[in-house]
Amino acid sequence: MSRIAPLSGFPELLPGQRIVEQRVLDRLAHTFELYGFSSIQTRAVEPMEQLLRKGETSKEVYVLRRLQADESDSGDSGLGLHFDLTVPLARYVLENAGRLQFPFRRYQIQPCWRGERPQEGRFREFWQADVDVVDRDDLSGHYEVELPLLIGDALRSLPIPRMRMHVNNRKLSQGFYRGLGIADPMAAIRAVDKLDKIGPRGVADLLAETTGADDAQVAACLALAEIHSEDESFVDRVRALGVSDPLLDEGLSELGAVVTAAAEDAPGLVVADLRIARGLDYYTGTVYETYMDGYANLGSVCSGGRYDDLASEGRNRFPGVGLSIGVSRILVPLLNEGRLAPTREVPTCVLVALPNEERRRDCDRIARALRSRGIAAEVAPAAQKYGKQIRFAERRGIPFVWFPGDAEGGDEVRDIRSGEQSAADGAKWSPPDADLRPRIA
């Protein structure tokens, strides 16, 4: 067997790091459920034809084949691993439309896979936490207001750096470009989407090249991209550019509603930022990107938007709006830098010390009594000297060691951080709440 080594792009956590991840995922799920979102899980695989509907991503897909596939076996030849949770959602909604209640509020926390070259903040296997509202036929605009507030609640419940969500509206951009006389507004959106990468000059050239925009039109596009505000003041600044179009009006009004509600319920979370474009063609309304303070290099860690045509089949149309939190993208760097750590490395709250091997069953009974009241306990692996057993607990951060009584006296429990030791009854004693389970330190 060859040497065991990590696989680049497939991050794995040590048990203590995993405790942090568990707490984060629990917290996210809890917040999503407080808003009435249902959990679903979809299978890891989708038919290739589903995965390739968004042409761009084809190069990232992992395709499956059975090692011993034979002629008679056709079922699995066209399967690949999902690269996001949006394509599986669209398929799940179509497949189960008759059995779901609409509007369908769902969250989904699962790994995704992309065969990308690994780079900072990009992995080949990564966890995402997605929330979407999908309705039948029409989707009310108030969900575009609600989702960023939900995400704000979810992210602010975590001990991570501050998040800022940059929001734009596809109707606003498209209406503006159209009102400006640009024939292919989507080409303009794709050009502006490259602002971070190639700068205003590069975007100007690209606009001229791909949309035929003249200097005045290019200048107006770049001026629009510079507008941002935490309140509705962006509306007047757009109006001042002198472009008018009914779609632009709709977009301004919808984006205004998002910013106003967020300023009230989650001050400092949301900024209207008219340079946000998001390259994907399927967005049709509000679009979101989120950056973590001090980690701009990671790119957006929570993105999404409204889509009207992603899940459609024949006459059935299921418009939706959703956001996707890049759990691995956020957590892996913070864990690797040691910015997030657990209060202890194991779930165990009490180590029951073992006086000698003959008394193991007695010790098991003590542990059992503690567990029956929700206190995580394990019995020492061997009847070493008590000093060694205490060090066993110390190395793992287990806060309490339990000493079973004998002919000379009853049970005692020691807080090995303070050294405080006192008589205790396994059927009654409880640790302080803060010690019951490991937390994020």
Known binder of ligand: residue 84?
Answer: yes
Q: Find tokens 């020691």 and name the residue.
A: 414
Residue 170: closest CA among 58, 56, 309: 309
Residue 361 vs 385, nearer CB to a copy of itself = 361
Known binder of ligand: residue 138?
Answer: no
The torsion angles phi and psi of 398, rounded to 5 degrees, stand at -65, 125
Residue 134 vs 189, nearer CB to a copy of itself = 134
> Quick check: 391 and 436 in contact, CB under 8 A?
no
Residue 18 vs 228, nearer CB to a copy of itself = 18
Contacts 24+ apart (CB under 8 A), 230-238: 230/259, 230/263, 230/268, 230/270, 230/271, 230/272, 231/259, 231/260, 231/263, 232/256, 232/259, 232/260, 234/259, 234/272, 234/274, 238/172, 238/176, 238/274
Q: Could you tell me whether strands 163-169 and 283-292 are parallel, antiparallel, or unpaired per DSSP bridges?
A: antiparallel
* E strand segments, 70-170: 79-81, 104-113, 125-134, 163-169
* Measured CA distances, 282 to 86, 255, 310, 372 (Å): 11, 18, 7, 52
Known binder of ligand: residue 184?
Answer: no
Known binder of ligand: residue 132?
Answer: yes
Residue 25 vs 186, nearer CB to a copy of itself = 25
- Supply the minimum distance, in Å, between the C-beta of residue 375 and a copy of itself: 8
Residue 100 vs 219, nearer CB to a copy of itself = 100
Residue 389: closest CA among 415, 418, 363, 355: 355
Known binder of ligand: residue 128?
Answer: yes
Known binder of ligand: residue 114?
Answer: yes
Residue 62 vs 386, nearer CB to a copy of itself = 62
* Measured CA distances, 155 to 86, 172, 356, 411 (Å): 20, 27, 49, 44
Known binder of ligand: residue 278?
Answer: yes
The torsion angles phi and psi of 229, rounded to 5 degrees, stand at -165, 155
- Supply the minimum distance, in Å, between the C-beta of residue 401 and a copy of itself: 13
At 192, which amino acid appears? V
- Bridge partners, 270 (sequence order): 165
* Measured CA distances, 260 to 148, 169, 231, 266, 320 (Å): 12, 14, 6, 10, 22
Residue 75 vs 419, nearer CB to a copy of itself = 75
Q: Which residues are annotated as a binding site for L-histidine?
A: 84-86, 114, 128, 132, 278, 282-283
Q: Which residues are annotated as a binding site?
A: 84-86, 114, 128, 132, 278, 282-283
